[in-house]
């Protein structure tokens, strides 16, 4: 079973190169139905070096890293917050991807819906919501698309409107997720043009 866990951690770190310890523990608990202690033990074993083989990952001050010399930056931290949202939808969300198109940080499918996660920072609310709104959405994609917005500390929710966001949430420093608002289905796409 440890080989499965190690492979999963390795695959995960190939997408997001650094993941904080608490977030990795949360992931392992949800993905493999582990206790917190079992998740810590799994992480410890993944960081060990066996028979002159490289370890699966490296323990750094910022968390678990794919390579020993990686350091956390704001982009990776945003990806980690978006990954925390995806953890709520495991196991289906494990097949997530990191899109190249701004502002989407992460997307995944679950229960017939495509989820797109973005983050609104303070001072960027109007610009980002206008950008999302202006791209529009195809009519047939509306029922199966759900957009999730992470509100960074200081972001003003009242400045974000009519851009197709279904869920607004926060992710704190302890990686606790709180959904602050769920927009009713009949109001989500108000103001978003059909393309």
Query: What are the φ and ψ backbone dihedral angles of 148, each rounded to 5 degrees?
Result: -120, 130
Crossing angle of the two packed helices 21-32 and 2-15, in degrees rounded to 10? 130
- Residue 125 half-sphere exposure toward CB, CA atoms < 13 A: 16
Query: CA-CA distances (angstroms) from residue 165 to 10, 90, 148, 161?
Result: 32, 21, 6, 8
Q: What is the pTM of this model?
A: 0.90
Asked whether the beta carbons of 122 and 151 are under 8 A apart, the reply is no
> Which tens digits make up the pLDDT trace of 32-65?
999 999 999 999 999 987 767 889 999 999 999 9
Rounded CA-CA distance 22/93 in Å is 19
Rounded CA-CA distance 48/44 in Å is 7
**Residue in the block written with tokens 């997001």:** 16
> Which tens digits make up the pLDDT trace of 70-102?
899 999 999 999 999 999 998 888 889 999 888
pLDDT at residue 4 in the model = 87
Residue 118 pLDDT level (bands cut at 50, 70, 90)? very high
> Which tens digits make up the pLDDT trace of 138-147?
999 999 999 9
> Which tens digits make up the pLDDT trace of 170-192?
999 999 999 999 999 999 999 99
The domain over range 81-195 is classified in CATH as 3.40.1350: yes
pLDDT at residue 178 in the model = 96
Mean pLDDT in the chain?
A: 92
Task: For the chain, give every domain's residue range.
Answer: 1-72, 81-195
């Amino acid at each position: 079973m440890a080989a499965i866990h190690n492979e999963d951690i390795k695959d995960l770190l190939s997408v997001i190169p650094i993941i904080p310890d608490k977030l990795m523990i949360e992931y392992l608990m949800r993905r493999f139905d582990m206790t917190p202690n079992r998740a810590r033990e799994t992480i410890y074993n993944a960081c060990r070096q066996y028979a002159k083989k490289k370890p699966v990952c490296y323990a750094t001050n910022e968390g678990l890293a794919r390579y020993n010399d990686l350091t956390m930056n704001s982009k990776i931290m945003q990806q980690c917050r978006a990954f925390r949202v995806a953890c709520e939808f495991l196991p289906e969300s494990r097949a997530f991807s990191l899109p190249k198109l701004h502002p989407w940080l992460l997307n995944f499918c679950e229960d017939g819906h495509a989820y797109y996660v973005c983050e609104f920072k303070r001072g960027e609310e109007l610009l980002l919501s206008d950008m999302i709104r202006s791209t529009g959405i195809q009519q047939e994609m509306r029922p199966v698309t759900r957009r999730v917005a992470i509100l960074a500390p200081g972001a003003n929710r009242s400045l974000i409107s009519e851009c197709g966001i279904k869920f607004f949430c926060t992710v704190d420093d302890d990686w606790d997720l709180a959904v602050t608002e769920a927009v009713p289905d009949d109001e989500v796409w108000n103001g978003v043009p059909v393309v």
